């Protein structure tokens, strides 16, 4: 398996007199893999996501994505890397309330400078994949929670990122809608290639991943899936 | 929980946010405080100055019931005998009032009185003199007020050199009045001595009457047959006539201060409107928990009231301080030259100060009222879902009301003055401004829709955001529009005035040199010998001389100025006329009156006018109306030969000199001074210097206007900063999401700068439109009805372009700076917060 994402000895400490949030963490994620990471509240899952995404710098260790060491890049370069290679799905959706569904989906493509016609075609294709082609011109306030999360997933994958990071994507959804969203996430990761990390409290959600881990701050302990 | 308990809960939830955002709270309080400080400061300066003025006037009139007033010209003293002998008159005090020219320059008002009689009517003023009146009987003896003695540097036993006619005369200072007797510059002489020494034999200025018990003053005044030009007025009327002189100026200052207050009120509105929009979800939660609409509304109003109370208290204290500083350094007329520079202390009743604190509360509550109503009316389900509330029917209704207000303001602007004040003009300005503000959402929506889609993702995102959040954009835009449009209106008005004044100076100052003999004095002049000497001086190509005097045309109006000067065809052709007539004279002399005379006395070209000159009423024809910026009380031009025929007075008080080719102004001026030998009482000024001095005086008089304009703009920008800061913090989660999808911090700062800049452009454009409309009212209605002169409407295009650009830059920079706090680590973490 070709490693897509590799963490080596990553340390992140916020206060010298307190234990490190990430304590010499090492982890490898292969291309095409979809993994779930579970853990108690406050254990450092968000910190882990921020370090992987380049939004937080580790105090020690390295993070490598597709052979590029992210920890060696400056803020601008990390931003570009994030723009090109990563997609995010949040618990609170975070679609821009003043943009239509289509424009929300096309936001990463606009930032990457895609020409308008290419952008429109890709947005239409993504909306079709998440079953919301008819909602293209609707504003977020006209959509349900499940529809908003599907918009967010379409946005996260529109630019074909190498890595999808989903942080509690079903936390605000009912069980039926959550199941639909989880299935969509897995499908899209597999269809588009790359890899995906799902942060979740739910065993049922973790079960949709190829592998699952329990994170305690120091290490990721494999969990049985299914 | 009872209703007031729920209101307390709601209030506690709201104020918790204020504690977390102390800077925004301080800025809002500061804006109210600044508006109150300016309003209170201007009010206290005016009130203190007028109180001192009234005290001084009452000190002069004392216990008099009626004043028979002949103005500067006066009347023969035989009138005294006929009045004093009437049974209705208990005390008749003769007074000769003359502004005496000082040899060292300047003038001193001198009263010639009978101390024994005057002491019965004005005991506070003359008490000290009654005991020592024998000293005053000496020829050329004078007593000075304490203020005059200090200003002139002379005390009891000293001498004072004055200019009478063409001679210097020494007066002996025999007494200095106590400080409490009179608070301004004044000299007092025995009336006989004054008549003899000051060249006023047989003349009086006024007679102050104390009437017998049971005699009604107004009825008695009506029964009198007085010579032409002599009027009877009660002291109250006389006092009001004097304060009328400054009323328009004071009212305009008060209006300007209210502009600052209005801008502060709008800042409260903008802050509350945006704050309540941002906290919609919290209000929705409170509603979901059982807090009623009225209790939410009460909580928001209470929040506003506390801000207003704090701002009002702080502002009132600042206003007192500002008034004290201004009175100490600039005097009671703020440099406009209406008062004579007397030292004035701040006076204010506690009730007035309390009123200003309450005004702060009223203003803040008024600014909070609409946001409170709106937020209480939001449906909780909609608010919890998030997103911007739709423009909806409320904004459309506001737009309709706005159109009606614009129409009403346009109609009201054409109404006549009320009590001599441009009340309709001020109301029109308010209606137009409020109407324009209500139309801001419609303007914002239309203007944003018309902005072409930009290249670049960040620019498109900025435009999309503004279009998608029109309500919030409209509030920020309105804050810019209110302050900017008022600044534009005042800038156009002042520029129009200055431009008109500068061109007028060019028209009325055609000569090379100007001679003024002790301006404002009644005692010194040039006679025929002196004018002939001037005309014959080498270097003088041509000369012209004028006689200035004052006439009272109505008892309740200040005197008007009569200028007797040669009025040949060539001279008349150069007058700055606004209207003329070719109506046949029908044997009547022709005069030319200023716009103030036309407005105040209802005259037009072709009207007839009765002038009390030379002891008779002269029926004259108004040949034209001309523009005179020198005197807002009115000026009448009459041919000098005609005046001489009426009065036999061949003396002059002003002269114009045209230089012969090759002559230097300085040399001719020196020769004139040496030839006439009048010392400092003769002013010789080159026309360029006179124009410069006049323009400096203009700028000084408007310095306070410029300051208030800048403060209004500053408050407006503070409002924009508060609005942007508030929105930036509310958008942290949005910024965090953008950071996640690959926007750099720089791109987000650019996004905010573009949003701020675009709002600045829209605000400047709309503000310019509204400002021009308001300026039309200021120029053609407020200024005209206040000061009775017309202005040419001139837009300072360059100045406004620079200010507009500065506004756009300031808005963009403010928005960018406001983002700083919202772009830290908290933004990234905010994506994982629920709300």
Write out chain B residues lying below 8 Å of A141, CB-based.
Answer: 382, 385-387
- B298, B7 Cβ separation under 8 angstroms: yes
Tokens representing residue B151 in the block: 């200003």
Predicted pLDDT at B25 = 79
Q: What residues of chain A score a pLDDT lower than 50?
A: none
**Candidates B385, B461, B831; nearest CB to A141:** B385
Q: Which of A57, A119, A111 is nearest to A80 (CA)?
A: A111
Which residues are bridge partners to B95 per DSSP? B113, B206
Whole-angstrom distance, CA of residue B402 vs CA of residue B397: 8
What's the angle, vertex CA B652, arms to CA B649 and CA B654, rounded to 5? 155
The reply to whether residue A90 touches residue B831, judged by beta carbons under 8 angstroms, is yes
Q: What are phi and psi of B341, to 5 degrees?
A: 85, 15
**Structural contact between residues B461 and B421, judged by C-beta atoms closer than 8 angstroms:** no
Nearest-Cα residue of chain A relative to residue B465: A98
Q: Which two tokens stand for residue B618?
A: 């002269």
Using alpha carbons only, what angle is made at residue A191 by residues A187 and A193, rounded to the nearest 5 degrees?
115
Q: How far is CA A102 from the centre of its chain?
A: 20
> In degrees, to the nearest 5, what angle opens at C-alpha B28 toward C-alphas B24 and B31?
135
Contact B742 A79 (CB under 8 A): yes
B559 φ, ψ (degrees, to nearest 5): -60, 155
| Residues 6+ away with beta carbon under 8 Å from B709 | B486, B487, B490, B491
CB contact under 8 A, A83 and B388: no
Amino acid B116: pLDDT: 85
Nearest to B68 by CA among B92, B85, B86, B99: B92
Measured CA to CA, the distance from residue B731 to residue A205 in angstroms comes to: 30
Tell me the C-alpha distance between B93 and B69, whole Å.
Answer: 12
Indicate the angle between helix axes B703-730 and B235-278, nearest 10 degrees.
20
Residue to test with chain B: of A97, A119, A200, most B Cβ within 10 A: A97
Closest CA to B458 of B239, B757, B199, B247: B757
| pLDDT < 50: residue spans in chain B | 1, 388, 390-391, 834-835
**Shortest CA distance to A104 belongs to which of A121, A86, A127, A83?**
A127
CA distance to partner chain A, nearest, from residue B766 (Å): 24
Q: Which of B432, B440, B471, B447 is nearest to B262 (CA)?
A: B432
Inter-chain contacts counted by CB atoms under 8 A, chains A and B: 84
- Cβ contact A79–B744 (<8 Å): yes
Q: Over chain A, what HEC string results?
A: CCEEEEEEEEEECCCCCCCCCEEEEEEEEECCCEEEEECCCCCCHHHHHHHHHCCCCCCEEEEEECCEEHHHCCHHHHHHHHHHHEEEECCCCCCCCCCCHHHHHHHHHHHCCCCHHHHHHHHHHHHHHCCCHHHCCCCHHHCCHHHHHHHHHHHHHCCCCCEEEEECCCCCCCHHHHHHHHHHHHHHHHHHCCEEEEECCCHHHHCCCCEEEEECCCCEEEECCC
Amino acid A9: pLDDT: 92
Please return the burial class of B166, using the count of CB atoms within 10 Å of its CB with bins 0-12, 13-18 and 19+.
middle
């Amino acid at each position: 398996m070709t490693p897509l994402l590799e963490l080596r000895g990553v340390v992140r400490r916020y206060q010298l007199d307190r234990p490190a949030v990430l304590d010499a963490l090492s982890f490898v994620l292969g291309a095409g893999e979809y993994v779930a990471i579970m853990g108690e509240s406050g254990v450092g899952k968000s910190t882990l996501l921020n370090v992987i995404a380049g939004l937080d710098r580790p105090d020690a260790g390295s993070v490598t994505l597709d052979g590029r060491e992210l920890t060696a890049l400056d803020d601008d370069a990390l931003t570009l890397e994030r723009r090109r290679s990563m997609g995010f799905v949040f618990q609170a959706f975070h679609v821009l309330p003043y943009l239509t569904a289509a424009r929300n989906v096309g936001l990463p493509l606009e930032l990457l400078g895609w020409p308008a016609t290419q952008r429109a075609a890709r947005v239409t294709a993504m909306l079709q994949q998440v079953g919301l082609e008819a909602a293209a011109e609707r504003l977020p306030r006209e959509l349900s929670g499940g529809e908003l999360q599907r918009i967010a997933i379409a946005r996260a994958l529109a630019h074909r990122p190498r890595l999808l990071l989903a942080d509690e994507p079903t936390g605000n959804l009912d069980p039926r809608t959550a199941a639909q969203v989880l299935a969509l996430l897995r499908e899209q990761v597999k269809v588009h290639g790359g890899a995906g990390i799902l942060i979740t409290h739910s065993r049922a959600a973790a079960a949709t991943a190829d592998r699952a881990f329990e994170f305690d701050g120091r290490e990721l302990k494999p969990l049985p899936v299914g | 929980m009872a209703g007031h308990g729920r209101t307390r809960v709601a209030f506690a939830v709201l104020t918790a946010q204020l504690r977390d955002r102390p800077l925004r709270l301080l800025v809002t309080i500061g804006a109210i405080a600044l508006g109150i400080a300016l309003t209170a400061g201007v009010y206290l300066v005016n009130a203190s100055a007028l109180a001192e003025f009234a005290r001084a006037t009452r000190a002069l009139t004392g216990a008099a019931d009626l004043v028979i007033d002949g103005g500067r010209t006066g009347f023969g003293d035989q009138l005294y005998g006929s009045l004093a002998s009437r049974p209705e008159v208990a005390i008749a005090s003769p007074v000769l009032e003359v502004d005496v020219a000082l040899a060292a320059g300047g003038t001193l008002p001198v009263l010639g009185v009978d101390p024994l009689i005057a002491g019965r009517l004005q005991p506070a003023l003359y008490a000290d003199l009654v005991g020592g009146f024998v000293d005053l009987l000496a020829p050329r003896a004078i007593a000075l007020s304490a203020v005059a003695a200090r200003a002139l540097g002379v005390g009891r036993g000293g001498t004072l050199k004055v200019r009478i006619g063409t001679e210097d005369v020494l007066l002996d200072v025999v007494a200095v009045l106590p400080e409490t007797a009179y608070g301004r510059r004044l000299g007092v002489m025995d009336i006989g001595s004054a008549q003899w020494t000051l060249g006023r034999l047989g003349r009086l200025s006024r007679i102050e009457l104390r009437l017998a018990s049971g005699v009604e003053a107004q009825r008695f005044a009506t029964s009198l047959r007085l010579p032409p030009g002599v009027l009877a007025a009660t002291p109250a009327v006389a006092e009001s006539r004097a304060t009328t002189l400054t009323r328009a100026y004071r009212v305009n200052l008060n209006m300007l201060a209210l502009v600052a207050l209005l801008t502060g009120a709008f800042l409260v509105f903008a802050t509350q409107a945006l704050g309540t929009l941002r906290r919609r979800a919290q209000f929705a939660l409170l509603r979901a928990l059982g807090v009623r609409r009225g209790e939410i509304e009460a909580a928001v109003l209470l929040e506003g009231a506390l801000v207003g109370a704090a701002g009002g208290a702080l502002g009132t204290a600042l206003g007192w301080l500002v008034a004290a500083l201004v009175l100490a350094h600039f005097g009671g007329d703020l440099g406009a030259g209406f008062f004579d520079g007397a030292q004035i202390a701040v006076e204010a009743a506690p009730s007035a100060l309390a009123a200003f604190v309450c005004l702060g509360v009223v203003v803040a509550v008024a600014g909070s009222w609409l946001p409170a109503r709106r937020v209480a009316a939001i449906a909780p389900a909609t608010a919890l879902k998030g997103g911007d509330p739709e423009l909806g029917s409320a904004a459309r209704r506001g737009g309709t009301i706005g159109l009606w207000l614009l129409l009403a303001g346009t109609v009201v602007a054409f109404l006549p003055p009320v009590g001599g004040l441009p009340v309709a003009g001020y109301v029109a300005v308010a209606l137009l401004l409020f109407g324009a503000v209500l139309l801001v959402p419609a303007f914002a929506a239309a203007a944003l829709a018309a902005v072409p889609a930009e290249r670049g993702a960040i620019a498109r995102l900025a435009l999309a955001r503004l279009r998608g959040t029109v309500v919030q954009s409209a509030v920020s835009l309105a804050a810019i529009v209110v302050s900017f449009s008022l600044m534009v209106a005042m800038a156009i008005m002042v520029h129009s005035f200055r431009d008109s004044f500068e061109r007028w100076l060019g028209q009325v100052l055609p000569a090379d040199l100007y001679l003024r003999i002790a301006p404002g004095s009644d005692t010194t002049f040039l006679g025929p010998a002196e004018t002939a000497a001037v005309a014959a001086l080498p270097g003088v190509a041509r000369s012209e001389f004028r006689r200035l005097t004052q006439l009272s045309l109505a008892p309740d109006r200040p005197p008007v100025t009569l200028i007797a000067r040669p009025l040949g065809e060539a001279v008349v052709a150069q007058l700055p006329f606004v209207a003329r007539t070719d109506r046949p004279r029908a044997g009547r002399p022709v005069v030319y009156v200023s716009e103030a005379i036309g407005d105040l006395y209802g005259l037009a070209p072709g009207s007839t006018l009765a002038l009390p000159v030379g002891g008779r009423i002269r029926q004259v024809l108004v040949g034209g109306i001309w523009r005179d910026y020198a005197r807002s009380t009115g000026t009448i031009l009459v041919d000098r030969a005609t005046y001489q025929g009426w009065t036999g007075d061949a003396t002059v008080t002003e002269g114009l000199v045209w230089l012969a080719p090759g002559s230097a102004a300085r040399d001719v001026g020196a020769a004139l001074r040496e030839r006439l030998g009048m010392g400092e009482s003769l002013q010789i000024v080159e026309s360029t210097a006179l124009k410069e001095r006049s323009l400096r005086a203009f700028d000084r008089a408007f310095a306070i206007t410029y300051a208030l304009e800048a403060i209004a703009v500053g408050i407006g920008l503070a409002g924009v900063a508060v609005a942007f800061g508030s929105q930036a913090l509310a958008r942290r989660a949005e910024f965090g999401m953008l950071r996640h999808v690959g926007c750099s911090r720089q791109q987000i700062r650019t996004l905010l700068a573009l949003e701020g800049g675009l709002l600045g452009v829209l605000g400047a454009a709309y503000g310019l439109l509204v400002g021009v409309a308001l300026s039309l009212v200021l120029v053609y209605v407020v200024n005209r009805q206040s000061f009775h002169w017309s202005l040419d409407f001139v837009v300072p295009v360059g100045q406004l372009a620079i200010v507009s650009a500065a506004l756009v830059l300031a808005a963009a920079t403010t928005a960018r700076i406001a983002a700083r706090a919202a772009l830290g680590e908290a933004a990234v973490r905010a994506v994982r917060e629920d709300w």
